[in-house]
Amino acid sequence: MTSPQSDPAPQPPQPPQGHAHGHTHSHGPAAPVSKHLRKVIAAVVIPFATAVVVGLIAFWPGGVPDHERTGVGFDRQTQDGKVVQVVKVDCADVNAAQVPPTGDTSTPSGREAVNEQEGECAKATVEVTSGDDKGRKFVEVVQPDAPRQLREGQGVVVAYAPDAPRDLQYSVTDVNRKIPMTLLAAIFALAVIAVGRMRGVMALVALAVSFAVLTLFILPAILQGSNPLVVAVIGASAIMLAALYMCHGVTARTSVAVIGTLISLLLIGLLGSLFIGWADLSGNTDDNTGLIHGLYPDIDMSGLLLAGVIIGSLGVLDDVTVTQTSAVWELHQADPQMGWRGLYRAGIRIGRDHIASVVNTLVLAYAGAALPLLLLFSIAQSSVGTVANSELVAEEIVRTLVGSIGLVASVPVTTVLAALVVSADRPGASTSSSTAAAPARAGRGRRRKA
C-alpha cells in the first residue's frame, strides 16, 4: 500500500499522484541535481553570501547622521493637521498687501495678480493634531487658481518653521494620504496572498526585507559618506539573496538564478560606471538632488546615480533569471535525454519572447516617470537631439539602456548556466528520476533491487 502512494508516477488510474509529481518539480524541492553539483553550486554561492554578510557588517551605518534642518523642500519639520473650517472671502480683502496687478492678463503672472485681487479665495482654519503644539490653530489662505483646494474635515500635513513669527510658523504643505495609501497596501497584500498563498506570504516578507535593507542600510550608509556604488552592490546582493531564496526556496535551481542575477548586476555596474563617466553625468539635476548635495557635500552624486541604476534593475532581473532557470528545469524534466545545447536552444527561444516584453516594459516605465519632463520639452518644441543631450533626459536614457543591456544579457547567461547544471547531473540522479516515472509495480521491483 505504501509503494503506490510514494511513487508519484502519472498513470490514468492514479491522477492525484501524477498531479503531485508535477507540483513537486515545479517548485524545486525534487530538482534533479546530484549531490556533487549541489556542492559545486554551494561552493560558489556560500562564499558570495558570506562576502555580502561581511560587507553589511563592515559598512553598517548605525543610523542617519544628524544635520541642522534647512526648512527647504522635504527638509522641514512637519506635523499632522486638520481643516476645521473653510469660508469664502473676497481675494482683495486677504491680499491687500500684494503688489497691485498691472491689468495685463497675457502672461501667467499677470493673470495670477488679477485673480489675487478680483477672485474669490478660501480662508481655511487649520488645527495642528500632533506634536507639542497639538490643538493650536492657524489660518491658511488658498488662492482661487491654486492647484490644491482645501475642504472642511480634510487631513493635511503642516510644516513648522520655529524661527518665523508666531502667526507664520505653520503652513499647509500637503494633503494627508495615509488612509487611502494604507488601504491600497492592504488590498495589494490580500491580493498577493489570495493568489500566491504561502508563496505570496513569503513574497511579502521578502518585500519587507528589501525595504528594511534599503532604509536601514543603503540610504544611511550613503549619507554617512560610504561609496554609493559599493553600498548599492552589497545592499542589492543582500536583497537578491533574501528575495530569491525566500520566494523560491533554497534549491539548486534558485542558486543558478542567483548566480545569473549576480553576473548581470556586475555587467550593469561596469557599463553604468563607464557611460555615466563618459557622458559626464553629475547626478545633480533637480531640486531634490541639489538639496542632498547641499546638506551632504561629500556624497558622490554620480555614484549615487549608478547605485540607483543597479537597484532599479534588480527587480526585473530577478524575474528574468528565475523564469529562465525554471524553463530549463522543466524542459529537462520533459526530456531528460536532451543535452545542454538542446536545452539552451529551447530555453533561449523562450527567453527571446521574455526579452521583448521586459525591455519594452522597462523603457515605458522610465518614460512614464519622466513624462512631465518630456512634456516640457514638447512644449518648448525642442528637437530630439536637444532633448536627448540634456542631462535630465540623458540620465534616464543611460539608466534605461544600461539596465536593458543587463536584462538582455541575463537571458543567455542564466539559460546556459541552467542548461549546464541540469545536463551535467550524475547518472544517479537521472536514474532516480526515471525510476519515479516508471509504473508503480516496476517501481517496487526497482526499490527491492536497490
Task: Give the span between the Cα atoms of 310 and 231, in whole angstroms.
Answer: 11
Which residues share a beta bridge with 158? 79, 172
**pLDDT of 183:** 96
Q: Is the pLDDT of residue 67 over 80?
A: no
% of the chain residues with pLDDT over 70: 75
Encode pLDDT of 131-183 as tens digits: 888 889 988 888 887 788 888 888 999 988 887 788 888 888 888 898 999 99
Selected residue with higher pLDDT from 97 and 418? 418
Task: Give the span between the Cα atoms of 12 and 210, in whole angstroms.
Answer: 45
Print burial letters for 423-441: b (CB count within 10 Å at least 16), e (below 16). Answer: bebeeebeeebeebeeebe
Q: Is the pLDDT of residue 251 over 50?
A: yes
**pLDDT of 221:** 87
Task: Give the span between the Cα atoms of 140 and 190, in whole angstroms.
Answer: 39
Q: What is the mean pLDDT of the chain?
A: 77
Encode pLDDT of 210-239 as tens digits: 999 988 898 888 888 888 888 888 999 999
What nine digits make up the cell of 173?
504643505
Tell whether the torsion through CA atoms of 379, 380, 386 and 387 is positive or negative.
negative
Task: Give the span between the Cα atoms of 82 and 75, in whole angstroms.
Answer: 22
Task: Give the span between the Cα atoms of 438 and 7, in whole angstroms.
Answer: 9
Q: Is the pLDDT of residue 3 over 50?
A: no
Q: Is the pLDDT of residue 7 over 60?
A: no
Encode pLDDT of 261-296 as tens digits: 999 998 998 998 899 888 888 877 777 777 777 777
Task: Give the span between the Cα atoms of 438 and 431, in whole angstroms.
Answer: 11
H helix intervals, 280-390: 287-295, 301-334, 340-369, 371-379, 384-389
Between 5-14, 40-49, 88-97, 326-335, the lowest mean confidence (pLDDT) is in 5-14
Encode pLDDT of 187-196 as tens digits: 999 999 999 8
Encode pLDDT of 15-55 as tens digits: 444 344 433 334 444 444 567 777 778 888 889 999 999 99
**pLDDT of 292:** 78
Mean pLDDT of all residues in 371-377: 72
**pLDDT of 76:** 75
Helix (H, G, I), strand (E, B) or coil at 130: coil
User: Given the DSSP bridges, would you call strands 155-160 and 120-128 parallel, antiparallel or unpaired?
Assistant: unpaired
89 sits in the region (left: phi over 0; alpha: psi -120 to 50; else beta) called beta
